C-alpha cells in the first residue's frame, strides 16, 4: 500500500525550492519584450524554459513549441493512451497592496504568498511532483503521461490554440487550475467591447469629465479607478469623503490647476466571480451619476451605473441560468474615457452551458442602444463539459476520496481552463473546499500543507488514470 501523502511530504523541500524559483519570475504577458522565440514576452519565455529544464532533469522528453507552449513526455505519445496534464506559467499583473513583494515568495503562518501561488504555478509544480512520485516509485503504467505548459492562459489562451495546431493533444486528462473536488463543466464566454455610437460633439456643461480610467484585464475586477474633472468641481470634492465612507471604500480627491482627480480603491477578484470583489470603476461612476456632465460623459456614466453590482446581467437584460452551471455573470473589467484608447468598456460575460450567445448579443444591443452605445467587437469562447459517467471522472473521484475521505462532488465554474482543449478534460484542484480562493487578488497564497496534499492527490490520480 503506497502512502501517497508520505511520498509528497518527503519531497517538501525540493518542491518548495522548485516552486520558489518559478514564482520569482514575473511572467506577466509583455508584448513589448516579445520575440520570435518568446512570443508572450521575455519573462514568460523564461518561465517556460524553467519548467522545461525542471522536467528534463527528471528524465522526461521535452519540447518547446515555438515559445507558445512546451511539453514533457513520460512514455511514448499516443493521443488515445496518453494522459494530459495542462498547467500555465503566465500570471495576471500583481495589482493592489501586497504585504510582501508579489514576486518574492514568502511563507507566513503556513501560507506561501506570491503571485501565481494558487493560479497556477503552485498547482503546476504540484502536478509535476505528482508525476515525479509515480516515476521514482517505478510504478507500472499502461498509459503515458504528458505535462503541457501554456504561456497565455490569462489573456485568451492563444498558446493552446497554437499548440493544438502544431502538436497532438491528448483526449483525456486534467488541468490543475481551479478547485477540488473537480470541475466537470465550464461556462462559455461572451466578451464584448462597448463604444459610443457617435463621436462627441461640442457642448456646454457645468462639469467636464476629462478622463476616466479603471481596470487592466477583463478577467479581473478593477481594483482602482481614476477620474479627472474640471469646471464646478468644489461641491464634488466636498461630498467625496462622505460618499466613500457610505460605500466603505478608500477614496482620495486632489485639486490641481483647476482640475480634480478622484481615485477609488476597491477589491480585486477573478472576473468570473465579480461578486467577490469591489469594482472601483462602477463605484466611481456611482459617485458621478448626479454630476452635471457633458452629454457623452453622462451616457458613459449612465451605462456604468447600469453595470454597478449587476453581477448577473439583469439590468443589462442578459440574465440567464441553467441547472448545470448556474447563473450568467458579468464583469466590466476595462473602462476608459478620454484616454488614448478612446471611450470604451470591455466586459466579460460568463455564460451557462445552455445559453445562446446570439440571444445575449441581441438583448445586450437593445440595452446599449438606450445609452447611445454599441458593440464594436466580441471575443467568444464556447462552454465545455464532460459526461458525469466518463472513466476520467470516476478515476479522479477515486483519487480525491481516497486521499481526503471527503465526497468527490462535481462542480461547475465561470472560469475557463485548459481542460476545454481535451475532449474529456476536467479541472482538478488545487483549491480545497472551504478554503479562500485568492487567484487574481493581492496577497495571493496557497497553504503549504494544501500544496503537499494536492501533490499526493495528483500522484494518486496519475497512477489511477494511467495504471
CATH code of 97's domain: 3.40.630.10
Write down the pLDDT at residue 199: 79
Boundary of a domain, candidates 358, 381, 404: 381
Structural domain boundaries enclosing 272? 189-381
For residue 310 the three cell numbers come to 449587476
Residues 355 and 397 both lie in one domain:
no
Active site residue 153: yes
Residues 156 and 224 both lie in one domain:
no
Residues 39 and 129 both lie in one domain:
yes
Residues 39 and 120 both lie in one domain:
yes
pLDDT in tens, 241-279: 999 999 999 999 999 988 999 999 999 999 999 999 999
Boundary of a domain, candidates 381, 398, 419: 381
CATH number reported for the structural domain that contains residue 284 in this entry: 3.30.70.360
Write down the pLDDT at residue 299: 96
Our count of domains for the chain comes to 2
Write down the pLDDT at residue 96: 85
Residues 215 and 297 both lie in one domain:
yes
Write down the pLDDT at residue 195: 97
Residues 341 and 259 both lie in one domain:
yes
User: What pTM was estimated for this model as a whole?
Assistant: 0.84
Residues 179 and 196 both lie in one domain:
no
CB-facing half-sphere around the CA of 88: CA atoms within 13 A:
33
Write down the pLDDT at residue 432: 97
Residues 390 and 429 both lie in one domain:
yes
Write down the pLDDT at residue 201: 67
Which of 90, 273, 296, 443 is the catalytic position?
Answer: 90
Residues 179 and 215 both lie in one domain:
no
> Which residues face 321 on adjacent strands?
327
Residues 358 and 286 both lie in one domain:
yes
pLDDT less than 70: residues of the chain = 201-202
pLDDT in tens, 10-54: 999 999 999 999 999 999 999 999 999 999 999 999 999 999 999
Helix orientation angle between 12-23 and 121-136, rounded to the nearest 10 degrees:
140
Write down the pLDDT at residue 202: 66
122-to-5, 20, 127, 135, 164 alpha-carbon distances in Å: 17, 9, 9, 20, 25
Residues 195 and 157 both lie in one domain:
no
Which of 153, 186, 213, 450 is the catalytic position?
Answer: 153
Write down the pLDDT at residue 198: 84
Residues 135 and 169 both lie in one domain:
yes
Boundary of a domain, candidates 381, 409, 433: 381
Write down the pLDDT at residue 79: 87
Amino acid at each position: 500500500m503506497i502512502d501517497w501523502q508520505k511520498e509528497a511530504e518527503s519531497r517538501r523541500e525540493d518542491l518548495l525550492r522548485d516552486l520558489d524559483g518559478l514564482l520569482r519570475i514575473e511572467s506577466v504577458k509583455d508584448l513589448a519584450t516579445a520575440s520570435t522565440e518568446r512570443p508572450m514576452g521575455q519573462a514568460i519565455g523564461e518561465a517556460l524554459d524553467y519548467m522545461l529544464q525542471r522536467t528534463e532533469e527528471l528524465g522526461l522528453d521535452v519540447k518547446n513549441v515555438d515559445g507558445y507552449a512546451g511539453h514533457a513526455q513520460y512514455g511514448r505519445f499516443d493521443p488515445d493512451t496518453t494522459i494530459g496534464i495542462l498547467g500555465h506559467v503566465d500570471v495576471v499583473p500583481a495589482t493592489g497592496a501586497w504585504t510582501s513583494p508579489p514576486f518574492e515568495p514568502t511563507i507566513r503562518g503556513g501560507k506561501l504568498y506570491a503571485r501565481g501561488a494558487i493560479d497556477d504555478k503552485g498547482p503546476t509544480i504540484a502536478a509535476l511532483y505528482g508525476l515525479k512520485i509515480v516515476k521514482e516509485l517505478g510504478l507500472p503504467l499502461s498509459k503515458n503521461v504528458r505535462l503541457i505548459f501554456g504561456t497565455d492562459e490569462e489573456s485568451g489562451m492563444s498558446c493552446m490554440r497554437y499548440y493544438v495546431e502544431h502538436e497532438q493533444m491528448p483526449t483525456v486528462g486534467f488541468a490543475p487550475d481551479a478547485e477540488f473536488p473537480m470541475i466537470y463543466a465550464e461556462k462559455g464566454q461572451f466578451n464584448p467591447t462597448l463604444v459610443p455610437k457617435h463621436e462627441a460633439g461640442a457642448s456646454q456643461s457645468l462639469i467636464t469629465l476629462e478622463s476616466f480610467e479603471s481596470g487592466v484585464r477583463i478577467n479581473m475586477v478593477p481594483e482602482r479607478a481614476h477620474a479627472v474633472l474640471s469646471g464646478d468641481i468644489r461641491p464634488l470634492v466636498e461630498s467625496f469623503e462622505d460618499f466613500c465612507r457610505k460605500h466603505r471604500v478608500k477614496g482620495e480627491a486632489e485639486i490641481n490647476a483647476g482640475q480634480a482627480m478622484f481615485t477609488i480603491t476597491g477589491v480585486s477578484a477573478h472576473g468570473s466571480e465579480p461578486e467577490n470583489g469591489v469594482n472601483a470603476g462602477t463605484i466611481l461612476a456611482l459617485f458621478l451619476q448626479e454630476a452635471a456632465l457633458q452629454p457623452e460623459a453622462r451616457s458613459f456614466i449612465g451605462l456604468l451605473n447600469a453595470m454597478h453590482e449587476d453581477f448577473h446581467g439583469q439590468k443589462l437584460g442578459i440574465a440567464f441560468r441553467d441547472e448545470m452551471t448556474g447563473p450568467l455573470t458579468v464583469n466590466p473589467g476595462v473602462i476608459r474615457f478620454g484616454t488614448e484608447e478612446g471611450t470604451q468598456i470591455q466586459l466579460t460575460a460568463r455564460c451557462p452551458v445552455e445559453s445562446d450567445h446570439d440571444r445575449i448579443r441581441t438583448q445586450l444591443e437593445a440595452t446599449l442602444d438606450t445609452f447611445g452605445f454599441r458593440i464594436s467587437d466580441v471575443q467568444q469562447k464556447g462552454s465545455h463539459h464532460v459526461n458525469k459517467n466518463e472513466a476520467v471522472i470516476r478515476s479522479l473521484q477515486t483519487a480525491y476520496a481516497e486521499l481526503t475521505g471527503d465526497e468527490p462532488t462535481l462542480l461547475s465554474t465561470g472560469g475557463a481552463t485548459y481542460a476545454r482543449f481535451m475532449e474529456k478534460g476536467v479541472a482538478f484542484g488545487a483549491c480545497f473546499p472551504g478554503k479562500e480562493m485568492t487567484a487574481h487578488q493581492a496577497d495571493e497564497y496557497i497553504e503549504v500543507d494544501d500544496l503537499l496534499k494536492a501533490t499526493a492527490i495528483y500522484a494518486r490520480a496519475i497512477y489511477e488514470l494511467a495504471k
